Structure formats: structure tokens, C-alpha cells
Amino acid sequence: MKILHNDKNVLWMGRRDVTENETKLFHAGAQAVLKFKGTKLDVTVNNCCVWGSLNLGVVIDGEMKGIPLSHDNNCTDVTLTVAENLADGVHDVIIYKRHAGNQFLFVKSFETDGEFIAPDPLPERKIEVYGDSVCAGEVIEAYDYVAQCDPEGHDSKFDNVWNSFVMQTARNINAQIHNICQGGIALFNGTGYFHMPDYIGLESTYDKTCYFPEGGDITNWDFSRYTPDIVIIAIGQNDQHNGKTDQNDRNISDPVYRNEWKTAYIKMVRDLDKHYGGAKFVLTTTILMHDADWDNAIEEIKNELNEMGIKAYHNMFSRNGAATPGHPRLSEHNEMAEELTEFIKNNVL
């Protein structure tokens, strides 16, 4: 039995553009949820590699794995066997985009030797995340490098958004998630590390579906398609980097820059609040090492937002900004997910 991407028996989570022929995924963690009776499942996708070693993310009956994808940027249709030799029964499967902006993935169809049935409904609670490489689970599977710098030449092969702390937190509180995350991103255009040398900031991507030019035409997101209960914003790690000078000279302790950064941050939150009306905002950074004054500025933003009538909270991890010089690994993501889950349960829900 073969079904197309837009069949009623396919549930989707994450921002996406949809055409008659395909569902277009640009953000890490965007996923298709299916249920089928049979022993085998194939998926036909059009995978475009911008750079790096890529895998298609699959979770079948609770077991996670990666299916290797071509590194060639030929953007041609390919049919992948994501499961075979299963027991002849009912199986739950999630197919997800494992990487952020070094790939865009267009999903065409699914096929099984049995039949597709309606999957369980998605959770009613909804969260949305705006973040950087930590939220995208970059280098998370470099298990031998806990509390160390990243291994040289990792080339995205250790990336996997599924167990990033924000994806874990969504599952912990039984919530859908739209994960608007991108490695290297900062708030302002011209800062951070994403899309060098023409650095793109969150100020230009937070309201987009296709948010980088390699993916095709930049597309605006229709906020009416998804209204989260909780919005997590996890930026500030990359914002010190100035793309013009290639130096870490954007100093949050400088009063002029601090005001500019806070003003732009608040402007984005106020726009999101205008769309979502009543959502609660959790502001945070991560345990990746950084200057604590970024967190001080975020505390000020939280206070100013509350004075405006916007429900804002500031999460601080027990090892905030002090645990590791490299990307957090799985054990460190587990730590952050546990703490963030408890923060949300105790303060936000």
C-alpha cells in the first residue's frame, strides 16, 4: 500500500511548506508520524545536501536509528527502506529531519507491504523553540568528548536533534514541538556564525519556513497554523561574534549594544505574543560556556516583558554557561532536559 505525503493517515509536526507533490522540511526535528500493519516501510524523499554527513532520522516502535543519505547536492528523488523484516503486526514510526540548515528534505510518499492506519493523535499541548546549535542537537553523539571541545572534522556526523534537550523536554511534558533552531545563529543579521559570509540572524528567520537561500525561495510562516502554549527562546551564545570583523567584539556589557540587543529581542517576543496572545515565554541559554552577562541581560528582558503584560520566565541551569567548552553531549542534554522539564512543571504549567 502506498500513500502520498498529504494522506489523512500521515500526521505532521514542525513548520513545513506543502505543495501537491511534497511536504518540504527545513527545520531540524520536523517530522511525519505514521502507523502501519506490515513488515516493511519505504519512504520516498528528495534530499538536498548543503554540506555535511547526513542521515534521515527514524524512530520505529520506540527505537531510534539513522538512514544514511547522499552527500551529493543533486536533489533527486530516492526511495529509502527505513524498516524491514519486522514482525507482522502494528508499528508506530516517526520520520524526522535530523539536521538543521545543512540540508532540506522534501517528503513525497510512503509504502508498506501491509496497510496504513490512523496514528494516535498528537498531544494537545504545544511548544515552540527558537534556538541555536544546542537546540538542534549538533555534535550531541560525540560521546567521548563530554566537557571537551568538539572533535575536529566532525562534519555533522554526530548531529541528531531527536535527543536535544528541547525535544526531550517536549516529550517529557507530552507536547508537540516546532523547533526553529539553527547552528551558529545569533539575533542580529551580520552576527553569529550561520550562513557565512552573509550571516543571517534570528531577526530574519523567526517568521520563516524556508529560511536560507539554498532551500529555494524564502517563505513566510503563517502563524495561524500553530499556536503554542509555551515558547522557549534559547539564544545569546553566538551573539558576541561580529561577522564584519570576524571577532568576538559584540560586547553585551557595552550599554549601547546591550540596549540594541535587548530592544530587538523584546521586539521579536512582542511580535510572537501578538500572534499567540497568552503564550508563556521561557527565556534561557545553555550550559555551553559563555559570558554570564548575557544571562543578566536576559533577566532584564524577562522583567521588562512582564512589565508589558507578557508572561515571561527566565530559566537558569545549575551549570549555566559553565559546563563545557564544546557542544553538550547526550548526557549533558539529558541533564538540561531534566532541569528544564522541572522548571516548566514548577513555574509555567
Domain range list for the chain: 2-117, 125-347
- Number of Cβ atoms within 10 Å of the Cβ of 307: 9
91-129 burial code (b ≥16 CB/10 A, e <16): bebbbbbbbbbbbbbbbbbbbbebebeebeeeeeebbbb
User: Residue 341: CB partners within 8 Å, gap ≥ 6?
Assistant: 168, 169, 172, 173
Evaluate whether 2-117 and 125-347 have a shared fold: no
Element (H, E) at 239: none
Residues 199 and 79: their CA atoms lie apart, in Å, by 34
Q: What pLDDT was estimated at residue 165?
A: 98
What mean pLDDT value characterizes the chain? Answer: 96
pLDDT digits (tens, 9 = 90+) for 62-89: 999 999 987 766 788 999 999 999 999 9
Q: What is the CATH number of domain 2-117?
A: 2.60.120.260
Q: What letter represents residue 144's amino acid?
A: D
- Compute the average pLDDT of residues 86-99: 96
Q: What pLDDT was estimated at residue 73?
A: 63
Residues 39 and 49: their CA atoms lie apart, in Å, by 30
Nearest to 311 by CA among 302, 319, 320: 302
Question: For the chain, what is the largest distance between any 2 Cα atoms, rounded to a whole number of angstroms?
Answer: 65
- Report percent pLDDT > 70 for the chain: 99
- Compute the average pLDDT of residues 130-158: 96
pLDDT digits (tens, 9 = 90+) for 171-227: 999 999 999 999 999 999 999 999 999 999 999 999 999 999 999 999 999 999 999
pTM strictly above 0.85: yes
Q: What pLDDT was estimated at residue 261?
A: 98
- Compute the average pLDDT of residues 216-239: 97
CATH architecture entry for 125-347: 3-Layer(aba) Sandwich (3.40)
